[in-house]
Structure 1
Amino acid sequence: MADPPRRPAAPPQSSLPGTDPATAAGWVDAPPRMGFFTDTSVCIGCKACEVACKEWNGVPTAGLDLLGMSYDNTGALTANSWRHVAFVEQPRPAGHGTAPVAGNPTGGPASAARSAGTVTPTGTEPGVLPGEPPAAARTTEFLGMPAAGPPGRTGSAEGRSDFRWLMMSDVCKHCTRAGCLDVCPTGALFRTEFGTVVVQEDICNGCGYCVSACPYGVIDRRVDDGRVWKCTLCYDRIGAGLTPACAQACPTESIQYGPLDELRERAAARVATLRERGETQARLYGHDPDDGVGGDGAFFLLLDEPEVYGLPPDPQVTTRDLPAMWRRAGLAALAMTAAAVGAFLGGRR
């Protein structure tokens, strides 16, 4: 049996561009970097990932508060919500609901009328004559509602026409260049052999430096004890060869776990498939090793701009300017020292 990877003796720091984060952190013979690929196009908002995360990791409940934001009862990633399922209610893109139908291959009025639930083409519903409203429309008329049904209902198989749901299960990104690692004074945050970032709660002193260092606003302090908590990518499970709890529980495989290089290839193929199907807004977020954080260990397929999902459009490692700042501070200190020595010697003369 192969020897397990050796853990670095010193607290690891943020990885440099182009290097494997575990290797840069000092791990010897590290396994392939593992991570998450979240395909939001198949997320159904069931929150199974949130529940599984809480159950496995013993994360306390955050209470029930709909926040006035649709079905979102957590609102954001916090110390008590390591997974957050965002619900984005968005108007349908222009032209939705006017797809070609039999007898009207170009779409247009007949198709739009069918979407509105007012006209049913011949033969599409048993017992309905041409030009007669479908059963759904007749039922709503009987109940005293408009013939087209409740707002957003079309009375046809095309479903809703006025809005769509964009859902995304958000999580810690496990950045390649992680500012939180750079600023932690106690070594409570460390880079694992799988390239992920984990908080050791028994070492955390609650200083909060990592909270402001995270470009995604992921890390949070728990009110009752002051320490910081976040996703560990189920370090205990993956160390035993198991799948993280959230990915294991996801019924649609929206959350996929595996070697990061394989996930990136799979994600690129998925984007190409969606664009071929007409989803022109499909794009990947956090997959690029040349971005401001060196690429994320947890990246996403989105169907709209990152800001729509509450993600920063151009995240940057918050400690990127620290080396230059220290150099300038050192030069300034030397200059001040030289000036003080010069003044002292000049005064003696």
Structure 2
Amino acid sequence: MAQEMAMLHDIARCSACRACMVACKQWHELPADMSTPFEGQYQSHADLTPTTWTLIRMTERVDAQKKFHWDFVKTQCMHCGDPACAKGCPEEAIDKLPTGAVVINPEKCVGCGYCVANCPFGIPKINKETHKSTKCDLCFDRIEEGMTPSCAKTCTADALQFAPYEEIEKIARQRVQELKNDGYPDANVFNPQGVGGIHMIYVLPEKPETYGFKPQAATPNSIDVWKDIVRPLGKLAGAGAVVGVLGLAAVKGMMGKKNDDDHGKGEH
């Protein structure tokens, strides 16, 4: 059985070299976003795009020690333990794998945008050219071969680590204690349980809101109603509609044959 894995982003160690972004592009053979306008900022893109699945967000601020500071936050799919995107997908095109990776199946995806609407982190994007939803897949194909995701493999600052889930949790707790000892009393592990926990865990020197994270992020209860009741009923209704159409066609065919027979009898 595949082992549950997780990635850790230690924001305090990130240098914003963006090698992870390049590695992601290379492994997935994603084209450059040539239309991205330059707005006078160091951050390469304003947001994730259909062909940019990982992004280093760069923010200037004064930190808890009253010092000017840059925040470098790796943004990508969180790979939730209870993924709203997968639950809300009407085509069942999104799979949660035993390793923890949440992966979109492009063969099934129809680009309906339900995953975009339901994701509490605003991650998936619709590719207008292919009409498919896209996002980070945690390099699930590499994981299946015993390899590390390309972004974590490339990181030179040890800001990204990839290991079995329990090991990552242990490393994260140790790092938080180190940060607290260094004068960051609000250091914490960001791993919201409202979405079933995530497989892209963060070590944060300060409160989650400082970095734009939502501590109370959760998979909507309405998604369970959709997944367990509405979607199955919709499929039954769809099947019933098909049967109804076929039945009506059959009746019309029989009526047509009867009329032909009646006409035939009248001619003799």
Q: TM-score band (shorter)?
A: 0.7 to 0.9
* 1:324 CA drift (Å): 5.9
Which residue is 2:261 aligned to?
A: none
Instruction: Give a deviation string over 1:29-75, Cα, whole Å, max 9, x none.
Output: x322112111000000010000000011012212343445x311212
Instruction: Give a deviation string over 1:324-344, Cα, whole Å, max 9, x none.
Output: 689999xxxxxxxxxxxxxxx
User: CA, structure 1 residues 326+219, in 2 after alignment: closer, same or farther (shift >3 Å)?
Assistant: closer
Query: For the residues of structure 2 that align with 1:218 and 1:53, how far apart are their CA atoms?
Result: 16
Structure with more of its chain in strand, by fraction: 2
* Among candidates 103, 114, 117, match of residue 198 of structure 1: 103
Instruction: Give a deviation string over 1:227-253, Cα, whole Å, max 9, x none.
Output: 101111101111111111000110111
1:60 lines up with 2:23 in the alignment:
no
Query: For the residues of structure 2 that align with 1:60 and 1:327, how far apart are their CA atoms?
Result: 38
User: CA, structure 1 residues 94+317, in 2 after alignment: closer, same or farther (shift >3 Å)?
Assistant: same
Give 3-state SS (helix, strand or coil) of 1:292's partner.
helix
User: CA, structure 1 residues 325+249, in 2 after alignment: closer, same or farther (shift >3 Å)?
Assistant: closer
Alignment-mate amino acid for residue 81 of structure 1: T
1:254 lines up with 2:159 in the alignment:
yes
Give 3-state SS (helix, strand or coil) of 2:12's partner.
helix
Alignment-mate amino acid for residue 195 of structure 2: V
Q: How many percent of aligned residue pairs carry the same amino acid?
A: 31
Contact 1:79 1:222 in 2 (8 A): yes
1:236 lines up with 2:236 in the alignment:
no
| Gapped regions of structure 1 (runs ≥ 5) | 1-29, 97-162, 330-349
Query: For the residues of structure 2 that align with 1:255 and 1:212, how far apart are their CA atoms?
Result: 29
Structure with the greater alpha carbon radius of gyration: 1
1:311 lines up with 2:241 in the alignment:
no
Could you say what the CA RMSD is over the residues aligned between the two structures, in angstroms?
Answer: 2.1
| Mapping of residues 1-349 of structure 1, within 5 Å | 30-63=1-34, 64-68=36-40, 70-93=41-64, 96=67, 163-286=68-191, 291-318=193-220, 320-323=221-224
> How many pairs does the alignment contain?
229
Query: For the residues of structure 1 that align with 2:90 and 2:66, how far apart are their CA atoms?
Result: 55
* 1:91 CA drift (Å): 2.1
Alignment-mate amino acid for residue 86 of structure 1: R
User: CA, structure 1 residues 94+260, in 2 after alignment: closer, same or farther (shift >3 Å)?
Assistant: closer
Contact 1:34 1:259 in 2 (8 A): yes
User: CA, structure 1 residues 38+248, in 2 after alignment: closer, same or farther (shift >3 Å)?
Assistant: same
| Gapped regions of structure 2 (runs ≥ 5) | 231-268
Query: For the residues of structure 2 that align with 1:176 and 1:203, how far apart are their CA atoms?
Result: 21
TM-score, length-normalised on structure 1?
Answer: 0.62
* 1:95 CA drift (Å): 5.3
